[in-house]
Amino acid sequence: MALDKNQIAKRIAKELKNNTYVNLGIGIPTLVANYIPKGINVEFQSENGVLGMGPFPYEGEEDPDMINAGKQTITTLPGAVLFDSAMSFSMIRGKHVQLTVLGAMEVSQQGDIANWKIPKKMVKGMGGAMDLVASAENIIVAMMHTNRHGQSKVLKECTLPITGVKCVKKIVTNLAVLEVCKKEEKLILLERAPGVCVEEIIKLTDADLIVNKNTPEMEI
């Protein structure tokens, strides 16, 4: 069975390392803050000037002045700090953010990511993605495996304007966990969603895959 958005975020949360600084992009990535594993201490940073974001607030407890870069209301943890965008991007460009989790419209088998523009369509735009893909030590993409027409978003080559080249290390979709193999410029199938067979993933993936017949199911 394919994962929903919250389950994708929950799987990505397992990639969090203790005592690291993490930036969460717009969309599915913002949900990761709700699933921090026990014993793991991370500081979530947002480009609009927040360090120390907590989970989403409960309904009725929202503070309209406390938002993330996607204009969603957030909570802050004890010790959180607020600052201007200049300071925020100094943190990013200074390589002080170890992990970035981004949404994407397309990802290629070389690790290219396209997530900021669809020609002739209105989308939210670049945001801080260009700086993040150029500066973060580790980039994980959270996305649906196919578009609404059932076409793969995991491609041999991106067809949309590219945000970053050969920067993505891992992709977590509703069907699979994939890792970029830079040496062969292919994607390694690491895990599959519960109940989803390897053959289905291959069928719905345009990119070239390195497949282990005994690919394990994700533990959600």
Residues with catalytic annotation?
47
28: helix, strand or coil: helix
The residues facing 177 across adjacent strands are 172, 191
Q: What is the DSSP string of 59-71?
A: TT---TT-B-TTS
Question: Which residue from 204, 208, 181, 182 is spatially nearest to 192, judged by alpha carbons?
Answer: 204
**Nearest-angstrom CA–CA distance, 177 and 65:** 36
Which tokens in the block code for residue 142?
């959270």
